């Protein structure tokens, strides 16, 4: 994306759930990219690793560890996403985990749509390090 969304549209005009929708995809693609860069492996192995890392439980743990790393703006977006009324139930996670994961996805969506992709990588690196996910060390 050559031009960030912020230059085209006021990012504050988007609902936190719209940003979370985008952030969900961003989080998954960042994890997939990291898995692929570790080396060529069978797709079923890659899929299992992706599923282990891309879920509400892991995202919830990650956000708890990362909250001290968030800027004021990121914290505000996290809280907006966490507190948003999703009108849906978590499929495989407790409600608290689902809400925290939605908050993290909101931050990722905000960062992506404002062109802050390097910050996404910084947060992901730090989060995986704090989670002690050895595959990415």
Catalytic residues: 24
Rounded to an integer, what distance in angstroms lies between the CA atom of residue 73 and that of residue 59?
19
Q: How far is CA 106 from the centre of its chain?
A: 7
Distances (CA, A) of 75 to 2, 4, 52, 53, 106: 26, 20, 26, 22, 10
Residue pair 35/49 in contact by the 8 Å Cβ criterion: yes
Q: What is the 3-state secondary structure (H, E, C) of 2-13?
A: CCCHHHHCCHHH
């Amino acid at each position: 994306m050559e031009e960030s969304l912020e230059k085209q549209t006021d990012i504050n005009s988007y609902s936190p759930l719209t940003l979370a929708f985008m952030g969900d995809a961003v989080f998954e693609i960042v994890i997939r990219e990291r898995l692929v860069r570790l080396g060529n492996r069978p797709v079923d192995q890659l899929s299992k690793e992706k599923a282990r890392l891309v879920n509400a439980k892991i995202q919830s743990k990650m956000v708890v560890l990362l909250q001290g790393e968030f800027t004021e703006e990121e914290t505000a977006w996290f809280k907006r996403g966490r507190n948003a009324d999703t009108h849906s139930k978590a499929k495989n996670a407790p409600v608290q985990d689902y809400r925290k994961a939605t908050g993290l996805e909101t931050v990722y969506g905000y960062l992506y749509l404002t062109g802050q992709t390097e910050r996404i990588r910084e947060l992901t690196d730090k989060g995986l390090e704090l989670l002690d996910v050895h595959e990415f060390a």
